[in-house]
Structure formats: C-alpha cells, structure tokens
Structure 1
Amino acid sequence: MALPDRDYVAVAQARFDALANYQVTLKSTSARAETVEVLYGYRKPGFVRMDFIRPHAGATLTFSPESGKVKLWPFGIDTFPRLTLSPDNHMIQSPQGHRVDESDIGALLANVRALQQHGDTQNVGAETIGAREAAHVIVACRPGYRASGVFRYELWFDTSHGLPIKVVSEGESREPIETVLMENLRIDVPDAQLRPFA
C-alpha cells in the first residue's frame, strides 16, 4: 500500500513534542547481549521509570531531571537496598552505551534527525508490525558521519499515532547494533494510571 510522501520523522517529532507522557513495553535485542525487556514510562520534562522484566526481573530504575540522579532498586521499588547513581554510571548503561536520561523517544528522534541532516531518507512504504499498520522509513548518513555510533536507522512509524514502534540501528558496515520493539504504547496516560516516578 502506498503512503503519503511525508517526513515521518518530523511528524513523530511533532507528536512527541505534543504529548505529556507515555508508557510502553520495550524489547531490545542485539548480537552482543541478552534480550532486554522493560516496562518503560516517561513524563515530561524528562522523568523516566524502567521496571525490568528480563534480565534482572523485578528491578526498578527511575531518573529525575530535577535531581539529575538515577535511583535503582535491584529488588523492586521501595525495597532495600536503594542506590543513587549518576546517569553516566557504566553500571546502569545498556551494552550499547544508552543512558537512562537519554533513553526516551525524543532522544531517539534527535539522533535520527542528526543523521537526516547528513544523509538520505527513504520512505519504503506501508508494512504491518504485529497488529499495527506502520510506515517503514530508512535514514542513512553519508560516509564519515554518524550519530551516537549509528550509521543507519530503519524505523517503522505507527500510522495511527505517528510514533515509532520498531527501530533497527546499524553501523557503517551495515552490522546490526540493536533492534527495539515498542509494544502496547500508551500516550497521555491519566495520572491515576501512570506508575509513579519516585
């Protein structure tokens, strides 16, 4: 099916700019590490909560832009011990070097936009991801430039809300870096249903 020829990254950026919060189940796979599955919550201006499903089942991690600190409960929120860490602490970075304070959709889109400015964007067409209709887009930079170690992104944007639901990142030799699936994405969750960030 043909889709309108538009800048889906810009559409996603506008949608992200307009939302107040979101919750999603993230599934990250890479060649260098075991699969990570997290119930992820984000609230502007940058609060993050990650409840780990695997590995480290039960661990909870939160980030507050007010304190600039990460709190980690290895055995679940409000249990002992609780660690307070800097977001650049290697203990809480992903194998790909992702930091919790730069883990939201807005940070992803900023990296993609940086590649767009130094490369090419191709609208591939409509595809189905799970039960969702999505626009498949490839953004690749020219040789010699990369954003956050990524040379090429393949993204699938949900056509109903405009945000990405699958992202594949690759290095300069087209070696896969990471595949992230975003499932059960809920946008602008009512406060009463939003998991607390502290």
Structure 2
Amino acid sequence: MASRARAAAPRWAVVGVVVAVLAALPAIVGALPVTDEPVPAAELRAAVLASAGVQYSGYAESAGGLALPVTDQLDSVADLFSDRTEMRVWWRGPDDHRVDVVTPAGETGIHRDARGTWTWEYERATATRAAATPLALPAPPDLLPATLGRRLLAEAAEGELTRIGARRIAGRDALGLRASPAEPASAVRQVDVWVDRASGLPVQVVVLGETSEVPALDTRFLDLELSVPDAATTAFAPPADARLRTAEEAEIVLEAGRRLAPVRFPPTVAGLPRRTLEGAPPGIGLYGRGVTLLAVAPVPWRLADGLRRTLAQSPDAVTDGTSTRIAAGPVGLMLVDPRDAEPYLLVGTVTLDALVEAAGQLPLPGRRR
C-alpha cells in the first residue's frame, strides 16, 4: 500500500501543477507582450469614435477613487464613483442594451430602450422607470469602457493626443491613447484609453487627477465577445407581481432649473467656453469641453442644507464667506449661498481656484423668495 501511494504521488504532483497553470492562465495571457503598431493618435481616436455601432457582450469592472460628498438623495452617484462596480453587459446599441450590476447581495439589471430605462432589482422585485432626459444622473452603463472612452475622446483636440504603447486586455490586443487636457482650469492630468485594434472599441479607461497617482477612475473589460446579443436578453417587461416606481433623483436639479427665471450666463467663465445642451433648463449653465467640464446649477433648499453640512465635514473643506468648496480627486464642488439669492452649486473637473474664479464671474441665479 505504501509503495502504491509513493507511486501515485508524482502523478498527483503533476495534476497539481496543471491545475495551478490553468488557474493562472488569464493572468499569464494578460501579461504576454503585445506588439505595438504605428497607428497615429488621431487615427486611433477616429477608430474609437467610429466604434459606436460595435455590438458586444462581456464582463466589466469599474473602480472609482472619488469620495463624493452628497446627500442621501444622491448616494447612488457617490457609490458609483467611489466603489468597485462589477457589470455584465449585453450591448446592441445606445438605445438597446442591458447592464447587470453584480454585488454580493444580488443583481440589479438596467435595461435601456428608446424611451428611457428600466432598473430591475431582483431581490426586492422592484422595477423603476426613468425617462430619457438631457441631464440624467450617471449610471453604471456610463462607466463601461466603450461608452466612457468615446465620450472622453469625442472633443479632444489633436494636439492633446499621444500614443502610449500596447497591452493585452480581456484577451484582446489593445493600443494605448492618452489625452492630456490643455485647459489651465482642468483638474484632470490625463486620460488613458486602451483601444481594441480590431474593432476600435475602448476596452480600458484610466483617469488621473493632477495631484495623485491613484486613478480617480479605472474601468476595464475582463471578458469581451464581439457578437450581437439576443434582443430578448436586453428587452424588459415588469413581471405582473413587481412593485413599480418612477425615478425622481434626476428631477431634483431639473426642477430647480425650470422654476428659476432664465439666467444670462456669460460666454466664458474661468477660461472655459459656454456650451449648450438641448433640453436643459435655462437656469443651468454648462461650460468647457472634453474632460474639462463645469456645470452651474441652482440647488433646492431641501438639498442645499444637507449638502452644505456634508461639504463642511470634509477636513479639506474651504469655507469663505457664503461659499464652501472641496476637491474630490479631479472633481471640484462649490456650494454658494448668497444672502439675497438662491443657493447654487458649481461642480466639474476643474481646480478649486477655477471654481472661485467662475463663481465671481457668474450672475446670481435668482432672488430669495
């Protein structure tokens, strides 16, 4: 019996080695060198922008490093940019896709159609309908590498782009493209986008702020299949016994913007040009381009009080007269509460100095009532 066990030991040792190699295979494949190609930065960016029609399915992971201070009404946005988000995705198009957020507690499915989104919470059997709006709050589909990469490169100037080599991501050869914002007001140092060279699809996006080597956001595919998902997979109809709700979070700022009289926003603030967004209320101002953006929005009283307290609790908060401001990585927030006007919020990927400069150039959004 002992001799038989000794004879079997080498065989089991071989099995153990094979199992270990198989377990490490994804990491080994990812570490294999990838030969770069002499694709110019502008050409690679064009391939990214042309990838909007690429259909795919896969598994993605987003890691946020932004501790955004928000009230309970907007805590889902804070979680999205400060935690790790694991997502299964089936993408047939911008208005036809499904993203399941996977957590230890269960799954939440987000189904997009032409009129808006259904969010299906499996464990709570709750379906929430949100209409498509021009100022919808960020959601997990917005953090997919393909979606985010196209958005961040859409307005990048050719002089802001450089090539950064190649690597293998999700089993695919990817070429690197870096965008470095030229605006002095920008709090973003660089955005690195890794692009599948076969399809032009962004497969990883890394955003770095000016003052930290820790990414403010790192989102990547762990698995990717370029094929057309089944329409039945992305479609959604609430079950008969589901609890139905209507999303209200996105209406908080829109409501305040509508009830204020139109504001004469200046053409530029802090060196950033004003931009327009179809459907946005006239009481909301948008400035900047690319990854350097600034929004000015009136804040309802029920949100302003809680936000003021939350900002003030930050050890890095700066309170100056009627304003409080902080930086959360490359995102700056400044709440202004004039004595004779409505409170308003400035938020964007700009420096704190740029927020102060912008606030001094803006008209008051409305008188107290």
* TM-score of the two chains, using structure 2 as the length reference: 0.43
Partner SS state of residue 126, structure 2: coil
List aligned pairs for 1:106-145, cutoff 5 A.
106=147, 108-114=149-155, 116-117=156-157, 119-129=159-169, 131-144=171-184
Which residue number corresponds to residue 201 of structure 2?
A: 163
1:26 aligns with 2:60: yes
Unaligned runs of 5+ in 1: none
Q: Which residue of 2 aligns with 1:187?
A: 226
What is the SS of the residue equivalent to 1:38?
A: strand
Closer, same or farther: CA 139–106 of 1 in aligned 2, 3 Å: same
1:84 pairs with 2:84: no
Residue of structure 2 in register with 1:71 after alignment: 118
TM-score (normalised: structure 1): 0.74
- RMSD of aligned residue pairs (Cα, Å): 3.1
Query: How far 1:42 sits from its partner (Å)?
Result: 2.2
Residue 106 to residue 73, structure 1, CA distance change in 2 (3 Å): closer
**Alpha-carbon separation, structure 2, partners of 1:108 and 1:168:** 9
Indicate if the aligned counterparts of 1:128 and 1:134 stay in contact, CA closer than 8 A.
Answer: yes
Q: Quick check: which one's helix share is greater?
A: 2
Local SS of the residue matching 1:195: helix
Q: Percentage identity across aligned positions?
A: 20
User: CA-to-partner distance for each residue in 1:2-56, whole Å, 9 max, x for gaps?
Assistant: 4123221211222334x3x322211001224221101022223522311122265
Is 1:154 aligned to residue 203 of structure 2?
A: no
**Which deviates more, 158-167 or 168-177?**
168-177
The CA deviation at 1:151 is 4.9
**Residue identity matched to 1:132:** R
1:57 matched to 2:106? The reply is yes
Aligned: 1:15 with 2:64: no
In 2, the alpha carbon distance for the partners of 1:131 and 1:107 equals 20
Question: Which residue type is aligned with residue 83 of structure 2?
Answer: E
Alignment length (residue pairs): 182
Counterparts in 2 of 1:131 and 1:103: CA distance versus 1, 3 Å:
closer
Which amino acid in structure 1 is aligned with residue 111 of structure 2? T
Q: Which runs of 4+ in 1 moved over 3 A?
A: 99-104, 172-175
- More strand, by proportion: 1
SS at 1:59 equivalent: strand
For the residues of structure 1 that align with 2:128 and 2:176, how far apart are their CA atoms? Answer: 40
**Deviation of the 1:182 alpha carbon:** 1.3
CA distance in 2, matches of 1:169, 1:84: 31
Select the structure with the greater relative contact order (CA < 8 A; seq sep ≥ 6).
1
The whole-number CA distance in structure 1 between the counterparts of 2:183 and 2:104 is: 36
CA radius of gyration, larger in: 2
CA contact (8 A) 1:15 1:163 kept: yes
Deviation at 1:150, TM superposition (A): 5.0
Query: Is the 1:37–1:55 contact (alpha carbons within 8 Å) kept by the matching residues of 2?
Result: no
The residue that corresponds to 1:5 in the other structure is: 39
Using a 3 Å threshold, how does the CA distance of structure 1 residues 63 and 151 change in structure 2: closer, same or farther? Answer: farther
Structure 1 contact 46–101 (Cα < 8 Å) conserved? no
Q: Give distance in 2, aligned partners of 1:100 and 1:87.
A: 15
SS for the counterpart of 1:12 is helix
